[in-house]
Chains A and B, each alone.
Chain A
């Protein structure tokens, strides 16, 4: 604990990141209790109202409270980021681990070439195409981002496994007659976990950006559910009359992504002994 505190003092940005991440989780978790208004309840008497005592950050085109919608929006973003990354790692890590452990032609010619091909598609373009197939929703956006990010985890898990499989402890485990699956789970996985965790935090930050971009294009979270990306989409149409609609959700995305990025960077310092 003392060491952690010392570290935080030397790394003010990491501490800031941790603080933002904690705040984000808190807001997303307690959204129903924190939001002063119902986020999808229109107030037709107060459409496009400027910030006031009743509506702290103003209202949108249907008179819905921006502040409450922002709080609920944290849920959509955090959920999208988390599930997309868990999906990506869930697909990618087992494939990369097994592929790197056994190697052979299947690894070289199928898995590697497939990831090459998938990584040639820009993330948003592939997500766009998948959205066209599955129909627009938050669920689709999460699945699309998860699939698009899977090759990154395949590559990383494979590369790490390649270096770990040659180590003495893995050889020893093999010599003792352990089964491959047991060696992979007990000996390889724990030793490749750090870079994977770091990659997860980095990917989560960009996943939130991509989800908000898809929602901004109208291909992610559907109305009336509040999300930062779709709030910005509305805001872009009312810039002249009500610029606050576009300002706050963008700021929220920025702070959330910044926090996760800073946190991820601090995590790298703690977990990756090479850079210490």
Chain B
């Protein structure tokens, strides 16, 4: 188990190298001079030179890259170019918001999607299956930001049940926290719910045709036991794969959802940094998004290993 884990970890190193290099190069081609951006156009040439010196902008590119990677590795993400706050503390502030909302969204997607998939599979070909398919496809096709706006209209403006913007932290008031994160979680979770539903349906249909399910039926197990123990179980591995892919996609969609609900999460940080061309902030955030995805993939591999130990042979 440990050996497998370390081999996987080692395998991510070249990917991490490419990611940092990619992020760094993209930031280099961005228009605009950071020194000018910090001081404004009326700065004296001496002041500009001084700040270039301080930011290390007068060094050769590879030195700048190495310095940046070195700093990131020691936990120093630099300071925002716009308001000079440390990037690391901005991220620490935003992280719990995004984590809470995305976990709630995935949880919601699993709770809605998996049972719906099981039900659709057991009613294969009937009108119930067609309706379930349509619902599944609808979930996949709904633009999250539209769902968000409709939810806001219904629950905040019309009914007045839920707050229309802002975020209450979990340790301050957990009911309020749940209230402020339920609509964002629904808007984020519908798409993965639809995808989970379709996946569970198709992999269960596959499993129900197999010999071991026929054997289980012949043994006289009840329909429900066969469905759950033998049908659903085989769909777990593809489900884990899709779960990791969807989690990554969800992290991206946070950008839109944060903007609509006024959440102080990762999405808002990155959106603001793009609008204000805050290079250090953008650089670190894009990197963190990518590293989170790598970590999720690594965890996925671990889960595969636990679900199916044959995988280590590969």
Binding site for B on A (CB under 8 A): 12-13, 109, 113-114, 116-126, 128-133, 135, 205, 209, 212-213, 216-217, 219, 232, 235-236, 239-240, 243, 246-247, 249-251, 253-254, 257-258, 261-262, 265
Task: Give the residues in chain A near B285, CB-CB below 8 Å.
Answer: 125
Stretch at the interface among B15-23, B35-43, B65-73: B15-23
List of B residues within 8 angstroms of A257 by Cβ: 141, 143
B282 touches A113 (CB 8 A): no
B149 at the binding interface (Cβ < 8 Å)? yes
Assuming the A-B contacts A122-B248, A243-B153, A246-B146, are A117 and B22 also in contact, with contact meaning beta carbons closer than 8 angstroms in the complex?
A: yes
Judging by beta carbons under 8 Å apart, are B256 and A216 in contact?
yes
Convert B240-253 into 0s and 1s, putting 1 for each residue whose CB lies closer than 8 angstroms to a CB of A: 00000000110111
Bound CA–CA A65/B258 (angstroms): 30
Q: Which residues of B contact A205 (CB under 8 A)?
A: 140-141
**Chain A's interface: helix, strand, loop or mixed, by majority?**
helix
Q: Which of B29, B251, B259 contacts A133 (CB 8 A)?
A: B29
Inter-subunit contact B256/A250 (CB<8 Å): no
Inter-chain contact A132/B282, CB cutoff 8 Å = yes
**B236 interface residue (CB < 8 Å to A):** no
Given contacts A213-B145, A258-B137, A261-B140, 18 further A-B contacts (CB under 8 A): A113-B15, A116-B15, A117-B22, A120-B19, A120-B290, A121-B289, A122-B249, A124-B256, A125-B255, A131-B274, A135-B31, A205-B140, A209-B141, A209-B143, A212-B143, A213-B143, A213-B255, A258-B138
Q: Is residue B152 within 8 Å, beta carbon to beta carbon, of the partner chain?
A: yes
The yes or no answer to B30 lying at the interface (CB within 8 A) is: yes
Give residues of chain B (291-314) contacting chain A, Cβ–Cβ below 8 Å.
291, 293-294, 297
Question: B77: CB under 8 A from chain A?
Answer: no
Are B286 and A121 interface neighbours, CB within 8 A? yes
A-B contact pairs, 16 of them (CB 8 A): A120-B248, A122-B249, A123-B252, A124-B255, A125-B255, A125-B289, A205-B140, A209-B143, A213-B255, A216-B145, A216-B256, A217-B271, A246-B153, A250-B143, A254-B146, A265-B137
CA distance A253 to B147 in the complex (A): 11
B277 — nearest CB in chain A belongs to which residue?
A132
Q: With A and B bound together, what is the CA distance between A200 and B252 in angstroms?
A: 21
User: In the complex, A115→B35 CA distance in Å?
Assistant: 34
Question: A94 CA to B19 CA in the complex, in Å?
Answer: 23
Tell me whether A232 and B145 are in contact in the complex, defined as CB-CB below 8 angstroms, given that A122-B248, A129-B286, A133-B26 are known contacts: yes
Judged by a CB distance under 8 angstroms, whether B75 is at the interface is no
- In the bound complex, do residue B143 and residue A253 qualify as a contact, i.e. CB atoms below 8 Å apart? yes
Task: Write the chain B residue with the least CB distance to A256.
Answer: B141
- Report the Cα distance A128→B281, complex, angstroms: 13
Which residue of chain B has the shortest Cβ distance to A124 in the bound complex? B252
Nearest-CB residue, chain B, relative to A135:
B31
CB within 8 Å for A113 and B14 given contacts A125-B252, A246-B149: yes
In B255-271, the 8 Å CB interface with A consists of: 255-256, 259-260, 270-271
Question: Given the complex of chains A and B, what is the CA–CA distance between A257 and B145 in angstroms?
Answer: 14
User: In which size bucket is the chain B interface?
Assistant: 35 or more
A247 CB contacts on chain B under 8 angstroms: 150
- Which of A124, A232, A249 gathers most chain B CB within 10 Å? A124
Kindly count the residue-residue contacts between A and B in the assembled complex, taking CB atoms under 8 Å apart: 132
B286 touches A235 (CB 8 A): no
Task: Show the binding face of B for A, using Cβ within 8 Å.
Answer: 14-15, 18-19, 22, 26, 29-31, 130, 133-134, 137-138, 140-146, 149-150, 152-153, 157, 248-249, 251-253, 255-256, 259-260, 270-271, 274, 277, 282, 285-286, 289-291, 293-294, 297
Complex interface: chain B residues within 8 A of A125 (CB)? 251-252, 255, 270, 285-286, 289
Residue of chain B at shortest CB distance from A11: B130
Tell whether, in the assembled complex, residue B149 and residue A232 are in contact, meaning their CB atoms are under 8 Å apart: yes
Chain B contacts of A262 at CB under 8 A?
A: 137
Collect the chain B residues with CB atoms within 8 Å of residue A253's CB: 143, 146
Q: Is the CB of A217 within 8 A of B15?
A: no
Distance to closest chain B CB from A97 (angstroms): 22
Q: Are A124 and B137 in contact (CB under 8 A)?
A: no
Q: Inside 8 A of A135's CB, which chain B residues have their CB?
A: 31
Report how far A89 CA is from B274 CA in the complex, Å. Answer: 28
> Which residue of B19, B145, B157, B285 has the most chain A CB atoms within 10 A of its CB atom?
B145
Say whether, besides A13-B130, A122-B252, A240-B157, A235 and B149 are in contact (CB < 8 Å).
Answer: yes
Q: Is the CB of A254 within 8 A of B142?
A: yes
- Most A CB atoms within 10 A — which of B146, B157, B270, B277? B146
Residues of B within 8 A of A129 (CB): 26, 274, 282, 286
Contacts of B253 in A (CB 8 A): 122, 124, 213
Contacts of A118 in B (CB 8 A): 22
Nearest 10 A/B pairs, CB to CB: A122-B252, A250-B146, A124-B252, A117-B18, A258-B141, A257-B141, A120-B290, A120-B293, A132-B274, A116-B15
Q: Are B133 and A13 in contact, with the CB atoms below 8 A?
A: yes
Complex Cα gap A116–B248 (Å): 13
Alpha-carbon separation in the docked complex, A232 to B149 (Å): 9
Residues of A within 8 A of B150 (CB): 247, 250
Chain A residues positioned under 8 Å from B143 (CB to CB):
209, 212-213, 232, 250, 253-254, 257
